[in-house]
Copies of this chain bind each other. A is one copy, B any other.
């Protein structure tokens, strides 16, 4: 569970925005920080009559289309590399088992994670009850975590069967740190923001930490991907054309790295644009939901 719905990494829902504003008194639910409670505003970005709102929605969807296109390109690149250049997939302790590692880590810790993080920014979801989207956010992140863990199992099992050491390279240190932090983030996020255990005030206090950790884990994930691709290309491009000759496989791997970086930048752009934040302070979102304390976070 990465980005909280109403906040970019750098801006809580107390931000004022460039869309139509109207003051709203405190809702008395105490789900945000004291400062946010003191001054809350409502925006209506989907207002068809507001040209700047429409332009904001249009520019969001263009960015979102770019994000989805990059997601497809990254997935195709890493899959083609593993299947066509590296021989395909198996779970038998051979090099074919290793091939699951890049595909699953990139699919989980990067693509599902990044797409799950920007879910609340899709304007189509804004007029609706937040709880289903919160559950979808948590579900996507859980799927991303499962993919990552299975991806780690693939390489650990491959190493163990080869009697090769685990967890010595910086790539592995960063990758395992990213996955461990992601697991902590998911448990922490579900416990605080989904289940009814935590008081709303605690949610407000912990949200900035959740948002910052979410962005940090994405950064760790990108760094792990780049170092992993770089390491793999040096490993496999020794006999025959070497990496420094830039054969087709090297160009494919490097291009995959560039696409991954572009994906990370677009996710951060979407999360950091305050005009694209879910307008959680809208009156229809302020209805109390006893079951899961669906608050305005």
Contacts and interface: CB of A to CB of B under 8 A. Distances in A.
Interface string A238-257: 00000111100010011001
A68 interface: no
A219 B268 contact: yes
A95 to B, nearest CB: 17
Given A14-B16, A35-B19, A173-B254, A208 B9 contact: no
A257 B173 contact: yes
Interface string A1-41: 00000011111101111110100000000000111101101
Interface string A183-224: 000000000000000000000000010011001100110111
Contacts of A274: 10-12, 14-15
Contacts of A97: none
A271 interface: yes
A215 B272 contact: yes
Interface string A166-195: 001111011001000000000000000000
Contacts of A44: none
Chain A at the B interface: SS class: helix
Given A8-B10, A19-B35, A170-B257, A244 B165 contact: yes
A86 interface: no
A254 B176 CA distance: 13
